[in-house]
Amino acid sequence: MDEFYKDGLSFSCVRCSGCCRHEPGFVFLSEVDLKKLAEGLNISQKKFIKKYCFVADLVGIKRLSLIEKSNNDCIFWDNGCTVYEDRPLQCRSYPFWAHNLINEDTWAGVVQSCPGAGKGKLRSKEEIDKWLDQRLEEPFINPK
């Protein structure tokens, strides 16, 4: 990653739910995410996994992911996020994911597709780097 965002990047979520709906994707979970979500729903982690997760096989790398509804909406989307306070780091940190911050071109793609990116609150380089560091501190669950 180059340091194109040394002066920060603007982003304010407009709650359009574009990142939560209509397109297939994965929401990978960390141990912290799993614990928070299960506790928030007042069920065991084992029951949470059985009801809301599947193991995604990404060419030999396995990750625990939330399932989607048949229309590709997140399983927890119902006129908004039903687990908002406990939502996974992947959701909380969007759009500040490593692959979105490779260079100005990758960020421009995010700005084009996300109505809150490139607008609103200026997020400092330190704040953005904190999201990236948190992902390293809370790695995804890789089931055997």
Q: Is the pLDDT of residue 24 over 80?
A: yes
What pLDDT is attached to residue 144?
A: 77
Residue 13 lies in a domain: yes
Average pLDDT of the residues in 70-95: 96
Residue 17 lies in a domain: yes
Residue 53 lies in a domain: yes
Asked whether 7 and 46 are in contact (CB, 8 A), the reply is no
What pLDDT is attached to residue 8?
A: 97
Residue 96 lies in a domain: yes
Residue 3 lies in a domain: no
Residue 142 lies in a domain: no
Which domain range does residue 18 map to?
A: 9-137
* DSSP one-letter code for 101: S
> Is the link from the previous residue into 95 a cis peptide, with omega within 30 of 0?
yes
What pLDDT is attached to residue 60?
A: 87
DSSP code per residue over 20-70: TSSS----B-BHHHHHHHHHHTTS-HHHHHHHHEEEEEETTEEEEEE-B-T
Overall domain count for the chain: 1
Average pLDDT of the residues in 2-11: 91
The per-residue pLDDT for range 86-132, each reduced to its tens digit, is 999 999 999 999 999 999 999 999 999 999 999 999 999 999 999 99
Mean pLDDT of the chain: 95
Q: Is the pLDDT of residue 51 over 80?
A: yes
Q: Is the pLDDT of residue 13 over 70?
A: yes
Residue 109 lies in a domain: yes
Residue 2 lies in a domain: no
CA separation for the pair 27, 77 (Å, rounded): 12
